[in-house]
């Protein structure tokens, strides 16, 4: 989960502790094109979550820029 919740408990989000590592491991496979949809309030409770979210989005942008876009089955 990307949202930190309302109570400030660090266990409510995986973005800070694991998010970047998960994304790096997924992107290590050149066949993977990653789509990421964080909660719109990610970073509003804990600035570390916002910073991690920004870094995650940059990792994905950089990797996906050189990867092919999946085609719809009807386009084949």
Tell me which DSSP letter residue 43 carries: T
pLDDT band at residue 10, thresholds of 50, 70 and 90? low
Mean pLDDT within 56-66: 92
pLDDT at 7 over 80: no
Among 73, 66, 1, smallest CA distance to 32 is for 66
6 against 49, higher pLDDT = 49
pLDDT band at residue 72, thresholds of 50, 70 and 90? low
């Amino acid at each position: 989960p990307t949202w930190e919740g309302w109570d400030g408990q660090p266990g409510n989000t995986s973005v800070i502790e694991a998010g970047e590592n998960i994304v790096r491991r997924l992107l290590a496979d050149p066949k993977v094109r990653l789509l990421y949809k964080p909660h719109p309030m990610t970073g509003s409770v804990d600035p570390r979550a916002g910073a991690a979210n920004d870094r995650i989005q940059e990792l994905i942008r950089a990797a996906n820029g050189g990867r092919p876009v999946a085609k719809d089955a009807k386009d084949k």
